[in-house]
Structure formats: C-alpha cells, structure tokens
Amino acid sequence: MKQHPLCTDPDHGPTVMDLPIAEGMKAEWAELETRRHFLGRAGKVLGWAALASLAGDKVLTGDAGAANVSVPPAPQSLRLPNFAPKAKRAIYLFMSGGPPQMDLLDYKPNLAQLYDKDIPDSVRGAQALTGMTAGQARFPIAPSHWAFKQYGQSGAWVSDLMPYTGRMVDDLTIIKSTNTDAINHEPAIMLLNTGNMNAGKPCLGSWLSYGLGSMNDNLPTFMVLLSKLNPKENNQPVSSRLWSSGYLSSEYSGVGLRSAGDPVLYLSDPRGVDRDVRRKMLDAVNEINRQTYQELGDPETNSRISQYEMAYRMQASVPELTDMSREPQSTWDLYGPDAKEPGTFAYNCLMARRMAERGVRFTQVYKRGWDVHADVMGMLPILCQETDRPAYALITDLKQRGLLDDTLVIWGGEFGRTVYSQGGLSADNYGRDHHPRCFTTWMAGGGVRPGITYGETDEYSYNVVKDPVPVRDFNATLLHCLGIDHNKLTYKFQGLEQKLTGTTPASVVNGLLA
C-alpha cells in the first residue's frame, strides 16, 4: 500500500537512544515511555519538546556539568529549594490518636463553672458527630481535671501534666487553631501526612525526599520510628501507608526502624558471608536488574537497585547510629531513664537527634495511644509522663548542640478532642471524642517564630475564632520553612500536577514564620 506523503513510518529514523546525549537523560527519557507515549509516538514532535524540557537550559547554555554538582537524586527539573531554606531537616513528633487540646495547651479557665452543663447548640451547630457520641442524649461539658500555669517570657499557659513542656514554651510556636476536615483516625492521619484522606498519595517525608534529595550517602533520607505500644493506652493502628511514597518512586518511601530487637532485620551478614562476598553478590544482582531495566524500562527496577545499595551501606551505618554507648551521662540525665530502653518515645527522640546529626533529612516519630475516649484521668498522666520530658529533651538537646537553628521540630496529632464528655461524666473521670474543628500543635526551630501562640479558639475550645490553620496551610508552612514553595513541588500524575497541599488553594501562614 502506498504510504501517504505526510505520514512517516515511526519505526525508521533516529531514536532518542541513538543520540549523542548524556546517559542520564536517556534514562529519564526511558522512564517517560508509557502506554500513552507509545500510542502517541507518531506525533514525535511533542516527544522532542518533552526531551527539550527535560534537558532544561543546559542544552542551550552549554553547562551540562551543572546537573551533577549536588548529591540529590531529586529531579533537576524541580530545582529545589525554591529559596534559601531556614531549616535543612525536620523531626515530626506525631501524637497519633488525637491529644485533648483543652487538657494540655488550650487553657479554658471558664469551663470550670460549666461543669456538667450541656454545650450550647449554637456552638456545636449542625456538625455531624462520630457514631460513638452521636447517639448521646446529653453533651455535658467536662472541664480539664488539671490546673494550668503560665510559663516563660511568653506567658503561655501549660497544663500541670506537662511541666517540661512549660520550660520550653519560649522556644515553641504554639498553634491553637489547627483544624482538619476528617473526624476519624485513618482519614485524618492520611490527610495530615499526605494532604488527602484517601490512601495512595505520597506523604510529607516522601515529598521532601523527592524534592530535596538526600544529605548523606549512608542513611535513608526519610526515617520512621515507631514507639512501643503501652497496653494501658487506647492504641490506634499506624500503617506503612503513612510513610508510603504513593505514586512517587518507592525510593522516596520512609524507612522504619524496628522498636524492638535488631533495629533493621538481617542487618549483619550471616556467618560465612563476608563483606566481599556480599558485595559480589550485590554486583551480580544489580547487573541482572540493569538488564531487566534495559529490556522493560520500568523505573521501579532502578529504585530496587538503589534500595539494595542503600541496604548495603546501612549495614555499616546503622550499627554506628544505634550504638548509644558513647552518649555521655548528661544525655541520660536529660532524656530520662526511659531513653535507655529501645523503642520508647524517649529513646526515639534521642535517636531522632542522632539522625539529625548524621544528615537524615526527615525523621517522623510516632507515639500512639492518645485516643482517650474514656478514662482521661487514668490515661493522660501516663501519656504525658511518656512524652513530655523526651520532647523537651529533644528541643533542649538540639538547641544546646546548635542544631535547632536549622532543624524544624513539629509536635501534633491528627485532630483534637471534644470538650463534652463521651460516656458518663463523673467527679473522677470523663472521656473525650474526636474533634476536627480545632486542635493544638506546636513547632520549634528553623523557620518559625519562637515564643508565640497563634490562633484562638472559642471559650469551649470547640471552634476557631481567630487565624484558623487548616491542614493544607499547616503543610504549606512546613514546606516553606524547608525552602519550598508548596505550589512548585509537584508531580504529574493522573492528569494533575499533584502536590502535598492538594487542589484547594493553600497558603503559607506568615504569622508563624520567624
């Protein structure tokens, strides 16, 4: 059949792989080969345009060497940070379950007079409650059982449950007006971590790894520390979805350290396998993987190669990281006796400091058990005893070592708790249900203004009355501290320029910034 003159046979002519261009560029090109690309191959012009945009200025200005000055494997096209960052790294102390803000940091002295009175309908409005309290006949106000004191130059009010937090209020940026759209744990914790209630999106740590890349060769960029469960507490599950890279390459997932036993399984080589043998085996496996990649061009194969290599280097770096025998006595005096026991929140806070020193970009420490639906009076003292001192110790330790200047520390849960009691309210106990409309979080360190309290809630700690900080603005602000414009850290997926802060316009909360 005679070919139409305007139709060129796509199988002839040079392909990108034949061009005299950098190997890295070819690899990036290969990653673009999707079904859609294949189908659209006849329209090659578009493909060339895509290649040109991958190559960026460098093709025209001639300094292709510029692409390799920095370590980050992060995509050069993003060219992050967008501006000089205040913080190079972050530590996120995640209080999973939802700490009760009015028992800890959101002081409401007037509630004492309203003991066991019903919360006015005007305050609650038409809000849908969880199935756990929606059926309650009454919503009796439960004032906090604990007294509050004013601390520091800033005069912030802190519950007697958290005396150590009281000591550091002048270093903290307390946000009383954080609020979320989700009322149950899983969607709320997903929203805070990934900007979306549904699973499948990359989390904050993965976005940071993707956008900023690694600061060191021997430890992962993003690490997750799970604190041991306390069976006396009401523990909600925490799953690896929360440190998943979603649609980003799996290289950007968080790497967890185990809270008991070896921090990483099979860390040491088995008997009879020395370092050389291990190296040779890995080289052979990598070679096979590279062949597979040549053949199929699946970028996940490359991720696998880099993960094997990271694991190999971690065999050397993790034992050094987790060996705390050289920590001076002053460390244990600061973090408290719990820190000696692997897997406790105190131990993990100390570990987070050690990771910060060793160039880990983002560490997330999970502490579960804050889901105090009942027995607030029994559980809250235990929770605070476990977390108050270590959080203080971490801030103090970072500060004295000069690390707080460029480390951002974040403390907070996925939502707050209700001012009214779930279940019965009695003189010696009460419970609190989930509350998305306001909760208290704090930040400290690089990029945020110390010694301030931002936002206000009403006299019931129920609604935000001033300066609300929705989750997307909270996350936009975190990224800002790390030198990132949240609108520019994007990844094209499912036809959208996806980003951590989602599609609803988000804005950086300038009032929080230093």
Contact 218/360 with Cβ under 8 angstroms? no
Least spacing, CB of residue 133 vs other proteins, in Å = 30
Q: Which of 361, 440, 346, 358 is nearest to 394 (CA)?
A: 346
Give min distance, CB of 207 to other proteins, in A. Answer: 17
* 3 or 61: CB nearest other proteins: 61
Min separation Cβ 83 and other proteins, Å: 5
Closest separation between CB of residue 193 and other proteins, Å? 26
Q: Which among 422, 425, 397 is positioned nearest to 409, based on CA atoms? A: 397
Contact of 450 with 514, CB cutoff 8 Å: yes
Q: Is residue 229 a contact partner of residue 235, using CB atoms and an 8 Å limit?
A: yes
Q: What is the DSSP letter of 488?
A: T
Residue 353 in contact with residue 61, Cβ under 8 Å? no
Query: Of the two residues 217 and 341, which places its CB atom closer to other proteins in the complex?
Result: 217
The residue (of 167 and 278) whose beta carbon lies closer to other proteins is 167
Task: For other proteins, give the closer residue by CB, 23 or 295.
Answer: 23
Question: Which CB sits closer to other proteins, 238 or 506?
Answer: 506
Q: Which is nearer to other proteins, 305 or 356 (CB)?
A: 356
234 versus 306: smaller Cβ distance to other proteins = 306
Smallest distance, Å, CB 60 to other proteins? 4
In the numeric block, the tokens 């139409």 are attached to 4
Closest CB to other proteins among residues 25, 189: 25
Nearest approach in angstroms of CB 93 to other proteins is 19
Toward other proteins, which CB reaches closer, 88 or 304?
A: 88
Quote the CA–CA distance of 362 and 205 in Å, as a whole number: 6
Report phi then psi at 496, rounded to 5: -120, 150
Q: Give the closest residue to 376 by CA, choosing from 123, 142, 207.
A: 142
Give the nearest distance from C-beta 188 to other proteins in angstroms.
27
CB of 84 to other proteins, least distance (A): 5
DSSP class of residue 129 equals P
- Residues at the site binding other proteins, with contacts judged by CB under 8 A: 49, 52-53, 56-57, 59-61, 63, 65-66, 68-72, 79-85, 109, 147-152, 155, 157, 163, 166-167, 215-218, 328, 330, 333-334, 357-359, 400-402, 405, 449, 483, 510-511, 513-514
DSSP string computed for 342-393: TTSHHHHHHHHHHHHHTT-SEEEEEE--B--SS-HHHHHHHHHHHHHHHHHH
Please give the structure tokens belonging to residue 153.
């130059």
Q: Are 336 and 397 in contact (CB under 8 A)?
A: no
**Residue tagged 């005096």 (tokens):** 333
b/e burial code for range 377-405 (CB count within 10 A of at least 16 → b)? bebbeebbebbbbbbbbbbbbbbeeebbe
User: Min. distance of Cβ 277 from other proteins in angstroms?
Assistant: 24
Q: The tokens of 485 are what?
A: 């414009």
Q: Cβ neighbours of residue 22 under 8 Å, at least 6 residues apart?
A: 64, 67
Work out how close the CB of 52 gets to other proteins at its nearest, in angstroms, rounded to a whole number.
6
Closer CB to other proteins, residue 147 or residue 260? 147
Return the number of the residue (241 or 313) whose C-beta is nearest other proteins. 313
Instruction: State the nearest-atom distance from the C-beta of 479 to other proteins, in Å.
Output: 13
Rounded Cα distance between 291 and 287, Å, is: 6
Q: Tell me the closest approach of the beta carbon of residue 163 to other proteins, in angstroms.
A: 4
How many Å is the Cα radius of gyration of the chain?
26
Residue 408 host element (H or E): strand 407-412
- DSSP secondary structure string for all residues of 181-210: S--SHHHHHHHHHHSSSSTTSPPHHHHHHH
Q: Please report which residue ranges of 96-173 form alpha helices under DSSP H.
A: 101-104, 121-124, 163-167
The residue among 239 and 330 lying less far from other proteins, judged by its C-beta, is: 330
Quote the tokens at residue 83: 């501006």
